[in-house]
Copies of this chain bind each other. A is one copy, B any other.
Amino acid sequence: MIIKKITDLTKKEKNIIFNRNKMNFKNIFPTVREILDNVKNNGDSALREYTKKFDKVDIDDFKVHKEEIEQAYNKIDYKIIEAIEKAHNNIKSFHEIQLKNLKEWEVDNNGIKKGQIIRPIEKAGCYVPGGRAFYPSTVLMTVVPAKVAGVEKVVVVSPPNGTEGNPATLVASDIAKADEIYKIGGAQAIGALAYGTKTIPKVDIIVGPGNIFVTAAKMMVYGNNVAIDFPAGPSEVLIICDETANEEYIAMDFLAQAEHDPNSSCIITTTSKEKAEFIRNKVMNLLNNNVKRKEIINQSLKNSAILYGELEECIKLSNEYAPEHLEIITENPRGVLKDIKNAGSIFLGNYAPVPVGDYASGTNHVLPTSGCAKMYSGLSVDTFIKKPTVQELTREGLKSISDIVITLAEAEGLYNHAEAVRKRLI
C-alpha cells in the first residue's frame, strides 16, 4: 500500500493508482469469441455443453419455473426475505423519482413544433453473478430500474447452484417482478441473451456486473444487435476526508471496500500527513485483529493507497481517478461536491458509508469502475429508456426555414433533399 504526499507521487505510483485493476481482455477474447459463436450457432445445446464444462452440472431445462420460485421462499431465512422486500421498496421508490424527472416536452416556434418523447426499451437481460455465492441485491439493482422504466420483458440470468437456481436470487427476482429467470451464467449466458436460443429470448440490452469472461462477452456482443450498460471491473472507493472525519469509520470503510475481491481498490486522500498515518494505523490494527475475509483484504492492499495534500489536490486526484464510489467526509461536503467532476455514486458525511448505497438507501449499486465514471453513469431508468425527437410543421413553419435546408442540402450535394422541401412549397 502506498502512503504518500500527493505531490510526491512518482510516475510509477500514479500508474498503479490510476490504472488500477484494468482488466486485460486480450488473452481471453479468443476463448470468449469461441463460446459466443458456438452459442450463436448451436443455441441451447451449446449452453448445456458449457454449463457441464464450467458449472459441472448437466441442466436440461434452464428456465426457472413457478414451483421452483415458490420453493425458494421456504429455503431462506424469513429475515432475508424481509430485508429484500424493504430494499426493493427503497430502490423502487428512488427509481420512480428518477422516472418522474424524465419529462416529455414540446415547444412550438411559429409553426415548428419540436420535442422529445420517452419510450422504454422492450426487452432487457440482467446478468447476476452466482454459483455458490449469491447476490439478491444485484437482482434488485438491475431488474427494478428496468421494470420502473417500463421494460416489457426483463430476463434474469444467473449461474446455477448445483442444478437449481440460488434461492435468494430467485426470491429477489420474484419480488422485483422479473418476467423470466434462467439458470445460466458466464459468457454463454451473454451469448444467449445477445443472439437468443430456443429457450432464452434475444434481448435489446444486457446489464449487470460479472467476472472478466462475462465483461469481455458483453463488450464483444455490444453493437448494432444489442446494447450493454458499460464494461464493469473490480469495485473501488475513493475517500476525501479532512481533520474533522472520524478515522474509525474510514478505516472500517477501507476494509469494507477491500473485502470485495483481491482486485478491489481503496484510495484515501486526506488533508494532513498525521491524519493519513492515523488512518493507516487504524487499518493495520483492524487487520491484526480477527477481521473476516482477511486474506482478500490483504491482497487488495496492493491496489490501495493513503495519500495526503491540500484539499484541492485531493479533489483534483479524485476527478482524475473518477471513482465508482466517492465518500466525502469533510467539514463541508457539499462545498467539495461542487468541484467533483467524475464519480459513479457519492456519499456525504460521517453517516453515509458505501454499503448503504449497496443495499438499502435506494440508489443503484451497478456503477462505472476503472475510470469509466468519466463518461458513463450508473444504472438508472435512463439506461432502459430512449428519447426519440418529434417534429410537426405547418406549411408556414416549413417555409420559414426552407432557405436553410435548401442552401445546406445543395452545398452538401443532396439535391433531392432540397427538392423534398421545394415540392411542398409550390
Q: Is the CB of A252 within 8 A of B370?
A: no
Residues of B within 8 A of A292 (CB): 415-416
A52 at the interface (CB under 8 A from B): no
In the bound assembly, the distance between CA atoms of A230 and B258 in angstroms comes to 35
Within 8 A of B (CB), among A226-277: 226-227, 230-231, 233, 248-249, 252-253, 255-256, 258-260
User: How many whole Å from A104's CB to the nearest CB in chain B?
Assistant: 9
Residues of B within 8 A of A346 (CB): 117, 388-391
Which listed residue (B122, B397, B413) contacts A374, Cβ 8 A? B122
Of the stretches A7-15, A43-51, A80-88, A181-189, the one at the interface is: A80-88
In the bound assembly, the distance between CA atoms of A353 and B399 in angstroms comes to 12
Residues of B within 8 A of A224 (CB): 22-23, 230-231, 233, 369-372
> Copies of this chain, how many?
2
Q: Is the CB of A389 within 8 A of B405?
A: no
A373 at the interface (CB under 8 A from B): yes
A278 at the interface (CB under 8 A from B): no
In the bound assembly, the distance between CA atoms of A152 and B387 in angstroms comes to 25
Q: Is the CB of A392 within 8 A of B348?
A: yes
Chain A positions near chain B (C-beta within 8 angstroms): 22-23, 77, 79-80, 82-84, 86-87, 90, 94, 97-98, 101, 103, 105, 107, 112, 114, 116-117, 119, 121-122, 133-137, 168, 204-205, 219, 222-227, 230-231, 233, 248-249, 252-253, 255-256, 258-260, 291-293, 297, 333, 337, 340-364, 369-378, 380, 382, 386-395, 397-398, 401, 403-405, 407-409, 411-421, 423-424
A77-B411, A360-B401 given; 11 more Cβ-contact pairs under 8 Å: A116-B380, A255-B419, A256-B416, A343-B388, A348-B391, A351-B394, A355-B405, A355-B417, A359-B417, A360-B408, A361-B391
